Each structure stands twice: as C-alpha cells, then as structure tokens.
Amino acid sequence: MEHLLNPLVKKVEISGIRKFYNLVSGNQNMISLTIGQPDFPTPDHIKTAAKQAIDDNYTVYTHNAGDIELRKAVSAYISGKYQLQYDPDQEIIVTSGASEAIDITFRTILTPGVEVILPGPVYPGYEPIIKMCGATPIYADITQTGFRMTADIIEELLTPNTRCIVLPYPSNPTGVTLTAEELQDIAALIKDKEIFILADEIYSELVYEKKHTSIASYLRQQTIVLNGLSKSHSMTGWRIGFLFAPAVIAQEILKVHQYNVTCASSVSQSAALAAVTDGYDDATPMKMEYAKRRDYVYNRLLDMNLTVIKPDGAFYFFIQLPEGFNTSLSFCLELVEKAGVAVVPGNAFSELGEGYFRLSYAYSMDTLIEAMNRMETFLSNKTK
C-alpha cells in the first residue's frame, strides 16, 4: 500500500533537530543543549486557571476562532505589547500552537507552482509544509549579513511567482532580530505587490536590549502575524498560538483551522487567558535570566576562539564550526562521543546552515557551566 501514499509527504523528513535529540536521548551522562524548551515551569496562576476550568467542566468545544473573552484579551495584549490593533471578532484566531498557525496559513495562501522566500539558515518547520502545498521554498543566503534578511537580499529573489516571504524574527536558530529600519525597508519593497508576509514572532517577548517591532506596524494589509505562549510563558505543552491578520485573510484561514482542529483546547485557552491578563509580564523574569545565561555562554565561546554573533533575542547561539571539522554532523557526533555534550548540526536548518551548529541556552546555569567546561576541554584536546 505504500505506493499509494502522497509522494509529497513521503519526501518530507523528520526535523533534524528532533533526529539529533532522539539520537542522544537516554544517555545518562549526556548534557543536551538541543531543544528550545524553556526550563522554567509554567507560572502557578496559569496552572490554577486551567485546574479551575477542569473543575468548572469547561472541557467543551469553543468558538472555532477561540473563546471570545480570550480573543479580546489577546487583542489588548498585542496592542499593549507591540501597538498592533486587531479586531477580536474577525482578525484573531487561537490556534493549537504556532506550528498549526504556520500550517493553516500556508494551506490558505499557497498554490502549486508559487514560491516562498525564506532566510537561510532557518527553523525547519516551514519547508515541509510549503512543499506539501506544491509550492517551492526559495532560500535567501543571510550568512554574509549577520543572519539578517534585508530588503536588498529579498529584491534579488523576487519573481512573478513569489507568493510569500517568511520573516521569523527573533530567529531560531540564530537569535538575531531585525531593526525597525530594516523592517521598514522590507515593507517599502513589498508594499502594493501581491505578496504576503508571514511574520513568525513567537520569540517576541525574548528580545534583550530593545523592544520587539513587528513588520505589521508598517505593512498590515499584507502581513499575517504568528505568536503564542510557548516561549514567553513557558507553555510549550499547552499548545496555544495566536494568528493575526486582516479580516479578509483571517476568515479564509479560519476555514482551514476549523477543518483541521475545530478549536484549540478549551482548558488551554483558560490557561492562556490568565497568561495574557494576570501574566502580562510573566516573560520578564525569564528574559532577565536568559540574558545572564546568554552573556555567560557568549563569553565562554569567545574564550574558546569560536566565531559567533551575539544574539539579541530568543535563546540560541548559531556558532561557526571550529577548524578541523568538515561537516556540522561530524562535529556534533564527535562532541557527543568525546565530551558528552549534544548540540544541533547546522544543516538541520537548511543547507545554508552547514558549517555551523546551534546551541540552546534555555537550560540552567549549572548545566551550561558544565557543558561549556566539557566543550572547552574537548576543543583544547583537539588542538594539541
């Protein structure tokens, strides 16, 4: 029966991040810096709201777009945080995580033969869905611009088939964000063209030295904004994302969402309501701790003579391979075998990620100290 399966699905591979995580899991002495999983517990007041929802038997279907009280609260949240105005009735959809929001967006806006421009290296969750829609991912090489997707780079890749540009900033895997000026330049380039912007802003609350700016501030009518609570409120397993778009776009995406999951979990929506109201600033103490970890790891990496750009958002470093290693996979496998430290090969983030590896610092300081000590010893032994 295998020959009857959708060939577009058969060509898709499991994420390189998960492949490597699965490869090293179960090793008792392994320090894994592979997964973008906040090590903070979900705040207690959020868990209490979920428990109350269960006790109140709020375990039912909600409106397809999400409970209206939550959508109103999310509208106020996004306005207060980023000065974005979206109508809770027509322009906001509560999704089963930002991953579902990516899926339903692409399935709504893409048709066979169109092209989607992505920065490379990039989170691997976009390409498979693009291909399953019959569209073509076009990677923009950002390795020479400090991992920044600029208007000049985009302009060179535009064709009559360009349907969408993905702007995932702050970035996974690089931790880089774009400035307001860079976003304005991109908006000026794309304005009035029949091209969508998919702005994946799931790390928007984890920006360190400045405030996050959304391209929707400058290009609202063509932009679909994705966000959620996984990173900001340490709620990865609750699977709550938010999609914001002009009504004419959002109401078409809502159809796909309805037939995909019907609605997000009602219990998780109750938790989300607490997160965006009572937990409006829950991300602040986490961000402060991540900043300390970032600075510590950055200084240790520099002491190891590794080439790395200091991230200004998210919780990742994307580090150039040290000399003597031909591939990112060979480096990561040897680091696992000889140092007991797991990081993610750069080629998991497209071919443009080859020559790098990703390290997540969403781990305790004790874990990071031990990991850096092991890595330093490993590299010192390699140069002897």
Residue 47: inside a domain: no
Residues 30 and 131 in one domain: no
* 54: in domain: no
Tell me the CA distances in angstroms from 377 to 114, 325, 341, 360, 370, one per residue in order: 49, 16, 11, 19, 11
CATH number of 229's domain: 3.40.640.10
Shared domain for 206 and 271, answered yes or no, is yes
Q: Which residues pair with 243 in a beta bridge?
A: 93, 226
Domain identity same for 260 and 322 = no
- In which domain, by residue range, is 286 found? 2-42+282-383
Residue segments in the chain with a per-residue pLDDT below the cut of 50 = none
What residues pair up with 56 in beta bridges, in sequence order?
none
Nearest to 318 by CA among 198, 168, 191, 147: 147
> Which of residues 244, 276, 308 is at a domain's end?
276
**224: phi then psi, degrees, rounded to nearest 5:** -115, 115
**What is the predicted pLDDT for the residue at 122?**
98
The half-sphere exposure of 347 on its side-chain side, counting CA atoms within 13 A, is: 11
Taking CA 138 as the corner, what is the angle to CA 101 and CA 232, rounded to the nearest 5 degrees?
35
Number of domains into which the chain is organized: 2
Report d(CA 333, CA 33) in Å as an integer.
13
Does 157 fall in a domain?
Answer: yes
For residue 272, what pLDDT is reported?
98
Q: Is residue 251 part of a domain?
A: yes
Residues 306 and 269 in one domain: no
Residue-wise pLDDT tens digits, 348-363: 999 999 999 999 999 9
Final residue before a domain boundary, out of 241, 276, 311: 276
Instruction: Note the pLDDT tens digit of each residue in 314-340.
Output: 999 999 999 889 899 999 989 999 999
Domain shared by 348 and 253, yes or no: no
Strand ordering across the sheet containing 316-320: 316-320, 356-360, 344-345
State the pairing for strand pair 316-320/356-360.
antiparallel
Here the CATH number for the domain that contains residue 332 is: 3.90.1150.10
Q: State the pLDDT at residue 28.
A: 72
In this structure, is residue 87 part of a structural domain? yes
Query: Within this chain, do residues 153 and 237 fall inside the same structural domain, yes or no?
Result: yes
29 shares a domain with 81? no
- Which residue from 224, 259, 215 is spatially nearest to 242, judged by alpha carbons? 224
Residue closest to 375 by CA, chosen among 359, 353, 354 = 359
Find the length of the chain.
Answer: 384
Residue 19 and residue 68 in one domain:
no
- Pair (212, 288) in one structural domain: no
CA contacts within 13 A on the Cβ side of 41:
6
Reported in sequence order, the residue ranges of the chain that DSSP labels E, i.e. its strands, are: 31-32, 92-95, 115-120, 136-141, 162-167, 196-200, 223-228, 241-244, 316-320, 341-342, 344-345, 356-360
Identify whether residues 139 and 107 lie together within a single domain.
Answer: yes
How far is 358 from 319, CA to CA, in rounded Å? 6
Angle between helices 68-82 and 266-276 (to 10 degrees): 30
**Looking at 259, 276, 293, which one is the last position of a domain?**
276
Q: What is the pTM of this model?
A: 0.95
Question: What pLDDT score does 282 carry?
Answer: 98
Q: Give residue 381's pLDDT.
A: 87
Q: How many helices (H) and strands (E) does the chain have?
A: 13, 12
Does one domain contain both 177 and 86? yes
Q: Confirm whether 301 is domain-assigned.
A: yes
Q: What is the pLDDT of residue 16?
A: 66
Beta strands 31-32 and 341-342 are parallel
Which pLDDT score, from 0 to 100, does residue 384 have? 61
CA 236 to chain centre: 12
- Maximum alpha-carbon separation in the chain: 65
In this structure, are 249 and 110 located in the same domain? Answer: yes
